[in-house]
Chains A and B, each alone.
Chain A
Amino acid sequence: FYHMDLYGSKERFDIFPEELSGQGDRSRGDTRRESALNTEKFQHSQEAGYDLEKEVAELAKMYGIDEDREKELELLGGHLEMMESRWPPSRPGKAGSQGSVFNASKSSSPVKDQSQSTKQQGLPGEAPQDEDQSKARAEDEAESHIWSREGLSSGSMSDEWNSQAVSEEEEAADVFCSTCKTPIRAFDKLFGEHKDHEVAQLPSAVENEKEEIHKNMCKLEEQIAQMENFASHLEEIFITVEENFGRQEQNFEVHYNDAVQVLAQKYEEQLEALGEEKRQKLEALYGQLVSCGEHLDTCKELTDTTQELCLENDKADFMKVKSFNWQEFLKKEVDLELSTLPDFEERVIDFSEVEQLMNSINTIPAPCAPVISPQAPNAATGTSLRVCWGLFSDDTVEYYQLCYKPVSNERHADEQAEYTLKVKETYCTITNLLPNTQYEFWVSALNASGISPPSERAVYVTAPSPPIIQTKKIRSCENAALVCWESRDLNPVDSYMVELSKLTDEENGDNITESIVGIPNCEVLIHLQPTQSYHICVRALNLGGSSERSEPVLIHTTGTYFCLNEDTAHPLLAILDDGFTIACDELENPECDLPVYDNSFTRCIGILGSLIPFPGKHYWEVQVEEDTEYRIGVAFENTPRHGYLGANNSSWCMRHIITPSRHKYEFLHSGMTPDIRITVAPRRIGILLDYENCRLTFFNADIAQHLYTFNSHFQHYVHPCFALETPGILRIHTGTAVPPWTAL
């Protein structure tokens, strides 16, 4: 090819191998190859630059003339970027044009391609920021190219060049003139045209240049990213356009069809009316014709008759005929008017409806019915509900209208208050509701065109109210507790759950240590650890979720706690306020007329306790007065209420009677008692019920004295029982731990 090509390639890669590597490995390879030659040639160019000012004009001329050079420009164009030769921008005009030619050209070698393309991209990037600079660069590059071409254009010149180069090899460029943007020799700075220009050390100039290029590269990358995003966005928009088109197409179709239908209908109607009119007209005319004909006949007949008469020779007969009243007949008006006009009414096809239809083509239709969602978990509290719905079409909606009313099983369901809310979102939280109640919700969507049909009705239910634990009725022992509660809601709930937390000494407070779920009734027997304290609370559950926690109750598992069963109390037995003292004031006839409940004692002035039905040991104490006659012990739940405690086989008790001489004690079961004397009348009696060892033991708790033990394998769980036989008081103490001296 052109030998100058080779020449150019040497000059191409002078002092920026790093940059070149940024632009491609191939460049680098070339650079290394060429680097040896670079410095030499560079000096060359430096020198040449200085001396060639005069020759620039010549070059320009050559360049302008020689259009074929464009090809060369192509070949060498890519490399100019790498050349650091900076020519004074003395010929902007031509340079500019050359620059533009440059940009348009494409290079053939791979390296050139790369550099070319980067150059092309770089330039637009630079353009907004530093147009002058880029133009200057272009000019510079163009001019340097000119220079190089000049060197290449003729062999002779190159020879000259070479000889010149040889002579000036020794002095290398070592500073950079920022003014001229060209490397120069320091010498030139001092003595040459650059002496007033700003200079910088070549290496630092190199660094600066590198930085610049790097920045430009970054900007380039940004641009690439932007364009890529934009491209993908465009792709999406393509699809959207298609969709919108489809929708609009459908819309038109529907509307036009409607319009056409209406038109057709109108046409039919008018046609029919026209036909009807014609029929009427014809009928009328026909009628006229008929009557005309009749008249005509009549006239003709008369004519004939008269003519005949005139022909009558008999003059006498002729004068006789006077029957016909001619005057009257002729007077009669002959209706010669047309009953109806041949013209038809003007008929106009009413396009107004069609017009309306066509106009409504672009109006937004009223929306479709929204779809109300079923109740999500956690959507309910005791007094509020979060209702959600969705719109599964692309209709425009301005707002939604949510309606609800409580669901009721009663007859007057229709009279239930219905509430309506205006909502902008697709969800709404309704408050101030009743707990454990079902509500029916439905929603409609509204826009400028109107309201959608209502959605299906969805039933939501609020969570229940927290139950109330019946603290007075709690029974417990060392290893278990029986807790019962009441629901606060009218309607039944699905189930209950109990949460316990053991109280420890730590500050952590309530850690829920256990939850018991799925409790169907309002009571539960919980197994616990001995000598601990627990907080227990209950929640009610329904489909809406769980209620808040009930008020907690504190349970100590230090001993056995029971309460008295008021239902079993004999009418004369009073339970005092603390719930654990029973008293009897007078002993009227125990079988008196006081109101008696099914479950209460009728003869024995007694009462049962409610002991937790749990195995193991249970201990309680009864405090008595010295002169009180009592029966205390245990009995089965079904011990006969008409009987006396101890007199049957369903009760065991210690009985104290006072005789004139002494205290008498009996230990009764099935009416029998051993003969026992007790010298010190106990004031505080400890009762130990030991299911495991089949024993019921009585103690004088004050002196830890064992009094008596019943040995009986109790077939069922028993309850403590207490009865008074004289006016007096019994104080019951529960919750005491089993004393050690009871161990036998």
Chain B
Amino acid sequence: SAELKCKMKFGIYLPPKAETAKCPVLYWLSGLTCTEQNFITKAGFHQAAAEHGLIVVAPDTSPRGCNIEGEDESWDFGTGAGFYVDATEDPWKTNYRMYSYIKDELPKLINANFPTDPERMSIFGHSMGGHGALILTLKNPGKYKSVSAFAPICNPIQCQWGKKALGGYLGSDVSKWEAYDATQLVKSYPDSHLDILIDQGKDDQFLSAGQLLPDNFIAACTERKIPVVFRLQQARGFCSHRIGYDHSYFFIATFINDHIKHHAKYLNA
């Protein structure tokens, strides 16, 4: 990767339709600590993707093996925690340019080497990846046909993770952080042609820990009249104590089909 100045891996799923025709591309951004493998192996999206004829690309969550000091120190900053920003601070700014990588370099690569329809792209992700999907969409109106997220970090400047990461990559000027905050970006989003689907596990510990802050995002969208359907998922069953969904891939796997359908509606329209 030229952007990240290291070797990057990505996962890609090609549906049967790709053998004969060009297919739209759906980009999945994984969350903290994930690699390009997690989604491919755990999410169980293949059938839905095949059914709707979508190519799914799952890049890694950060540059790897850059030998930057402190990159492996914590699980929520550095390796596996790229936060989909273009870092401006040293020693990160050389390699940690996930934003540009996802926005430009990767699509170019994919389009050059696979039977893609370059006009049709959508993006979604989980947790940090959800945050990444949201900000990439909000910062590039019209680039993505649709966006959705699982338990995204909606308001990073307000939560611990965000503060840590954004501070580390972008410096202490909070105003610079706003450019990578979905909630903030929504407030100044130029139009309202968006249809955002967000699934959130009710028993997600990070939700209760205040790391995700969907309410803020929802409030902002409501204010801006950006259409969002936000589903707080909990299990329906006979048990008296409701078991909600958590932050794991099981949660993702349960609802991935709805998300694929959501994207297919726009990608195949």
Query: Which A residues have a C-beta under 8 Å from some C-beta of B?
Result: 662, 672, 674-680, 700, 703-708, 740-741, 743-744
Contacts and interface: CB of A to CB of B under 8 A. Distances in A.
Contacts of A744: 261, 264-265
B71 to A, nearest CB: 37
A680 B226 contact: yes
Contacts of B230: 676-679
Nearest to B217: A679
A741 B269 contact: yes
B88 interface: no
Contacts of B94: none
A705 B229 contact: yes
Interface of B: 192, 195, 197, 202, 218, 221-222, 225-234, 236, 261-262, 264-265, 269
A744 B221 CA distance: 25
A740 B226 CA distance: 22
Nearest to A661: B219
A706 B233 contact: no
Given A741-B265, A744-B265, A674 B231 contact: yes
A680 B196 CA distance: 11
A744 B236 CA distance: 24
Contacts of B227: 678-680, 700, 703, 705
A706 B231 contact: no
B233 A674 contact: yes
Contacts of B218: 677, 679
15 contacts: A672-B236, A674-B232, A674-B233, A674-B234, A676-B232, A677-B228, A677-B229, A677-B232, A678-B228, A678-B230, A680-B228, A704-B195, A705-B227, A741-B265, A744-B265
Contacts of A707: 229
Given A672-B236, A706-B262, A678 B269 contact: no
B45 to A, nearest CB: 16
A675 B234 contact: yes
B131 to A, nearest CB: 18
A680 B218 CA distance: 10
Contacts of B225: 679-680
Closest 4 A-B residue pairs measured CB to CB? A675-B232, A677-B230, A679-B221, A679-B228
Nearest to B228: A679
A684 to B, nearest CB: 13
A448 B233 CA distance: 104
Contacts of A704: 195
A230 to B, nearest CB: 96
A662 B269 CA distance: 32
Nearest to A742: B265
B261 A675 contact: no
B224 to A, nearest CB: 8
Contacts of B233: 674-675
Given A706-B265, A744-B261, A680 B232 contact: no
A679 B265 CA distance: 20
A703 B196 CA distance: 12
B226 A705 contact: no
A706 B236 CA distance: 21
Given A675-B234, A679-B225, 16 more contacts: A662-B222, A675-B202, A675-B231, A677-B229, A677-B232, A678-B229, A679-B230, A703-B195, A703-B227, A704-B195, A705-B227, A705-B229, A706-B262, A741-B269, A744-B261, A744-B264
B222 A680 contact: yes
Nearest to B233: A674
A458 to B, nearest CB: 72
A708 B230 CA distance: 10
Contacts of A703: 195, 227
Contacts of A674: 231-234
A694 to B, nearest CB: 15
A154 B218 CA distance: 156
A741 B267 CA distance: 12
B229 A706 contact: yes
Contacts of B229: 676-678, 705-708
A676 B228 contact: no
Contacts of B192: 680
A706 B36 CA distance: 30
Contacts of A706: 195, 197, 229, 262, 265
A616 B212 CA distance: 42
Contacts of B197: 706
B11 to A, nearest CB: 26
Scoring A674, A679, A703, A740 by chain B CB atoms within 10 A of each residue's CB, the highest score goes to A679
Nearest to A678: B229
B213 to A, nearest CB: 13
Nearest to A680: B227
A705 B195 contact: yes
A678 B236 CA distance: 21
A708 B222 CA distance: 18
A680 B236 CA distance: 26
A126 B261 CA distance: 112
Contacts of A743: 265
Contacts of A675: 202, 231-234
A674 B262 CA distance: 18
Nearest to B226: A679
Nearest to B224: A679
A743 B262 CA distance: 11
Scoring B222, B226, B236 by chain A CB atoms within 10 A of each residue's CB, the highest score goes to B222
Contacts of A740: 269
A49 B202 CA distance: 150
Contacts of A705: 195, 227, 229
Nearest to A672: B236
A707 B230 CA distance: 9
A39 B228 CA distance: 131
A647 B230 CA distance: 23
B145 to A, nearest CB: 13
Contacts of A677: 218, 228-230, 232
A418 to B, nearest CB: 77
B217 to A, nearest CB: 9
A662 B218 CA distance: 11
B181 to A, nearest CB: 17
A423 B230 CA distance: 88
Nearest to B193: A703
Contacts of B231: 674-676
Contacts of B221: 679-680
Contacts of A700: 227
B133 to A, nearest CB: 17
A706 B233 CA distance: 17
Nearest to A743: B265
Scoring A704, A705, A708, A743 by chain B CB atoms within 10 A of each residue's CB, the highest score goes to A705
Nearest to B218: A677
A680 B191 CA distance: 13
A738 to B, nearest CB: 14
A619 to B, nearest CB: 16
A676 B218 CA distance: 11
Contacts of A708: 229
A704 B227 CA distance: 10
A221 to B, nearest CB: 92
A689 B192 CA distance: 28
B178 to A, nearest CB: 20
B134 to A, nearest CB: 13
A741 B195 CA distance: 13
Nearest to A662: B222
Contacts of B228: 677-680
A743 B229 CA distance: 18
A706 B258 CA distance: 11
A680 B265 CA distance: 19
B185 to A, nearest CB: 15
A743 B264 CA distance: 10
Nearest to B198: A677
Contacts of B202: 675
Nearest to A682: B227
A705 B229 CA distance: 9
A255 B222 CA distance: 116
Contacts of B236: 672
A701 to B, nearest CB: 12
